[in-house]
Amino acid sequence: MAVRPILKMGDPRLWRVAQPVTDFGPALASLVQDLHDTMAAASGAGLAAPQIGVDLQVVVFGSGQPNPRYPDAPVVPPTVLVNPVLTPLGDAQQIDWEGCLSVPGLRGQVPRWQRLRYQGQDAQGQPIDRTVEGFHARVVQHECDHLLGTLYPMRMSDFTQFGFTEVLFQNLA
């Protein structure tokens, strides 16, 4: 168990398409622990294996309690998601603020599917199949994008809504 360095945008390892997990043994358990430790140390809402340089389809997200980086966001259950498959439900999209531990100090308005189904496995290889919406759906899309080599600025359509957190939110308490 360890807090690992988080790769920042510009590192070519963040552009890879991650490999599927086939071995649900101790190495995966160790990776998941490192992801949890690293996410907690950074107060992240989620973290994907490529962000610590591991080329595997593993993401963790949620906390079960309010996140200090997103204090007004709904609570998302703590989840380990391996080999995810996302299926948007309906055509509705929502635009809202996102940040990323690999893009520190910045926030941007990102369009995402409002509702989706996600499937995959947990850290023990047991199936996960959930239908979610809103912030939970946004977090899943953001984290799973990391497995496709995609960072949130690449999903943005209006770059006037992209900037430094301390400037964008300077009038907020």
> Strand pairing of 46-48 and 93-98?
unpaired
- Residues numbered 133 to 152 that lie near Ni ion (CB under 5 A) are none
100 or 147: CB nearest Ni ion? 100
Residue 100 or 132 having the CB closest to Ni ion: 100
How far apart, in Å, are the Cα atoms of 70 and each of 57, 139, 141, 156, 160? 25, 11, 17, 19, 21
Binders of Ni ion among residues 85 to 114 (CB under 5 A) are 100
- Which alpha helices (DSSP H) does the chain contain, by range? 26-41, 134-146, 165-168
CB of 146 to Ni ion, least distance (A): 6
Q: Which of 136, 84, 99 is nearest to 114 (CA)?
A: 136
Question: Which residue's CB is nearer to Ni ion, number 5 or number 127?
Answer: 5
Active-site annotation, residues: 143
- The tokens describing 67, both together, are 């996140």
Q: Does 59 bind Ni ion (CB under 5 A)?
A: no
Residue facing Ni ion at closest CB distance: 100
Minimal distance in Å, beta carbon 137 to Ni ion? 15
Q: Which residues bind Ni ion (CB under 5 A)?
A: 100
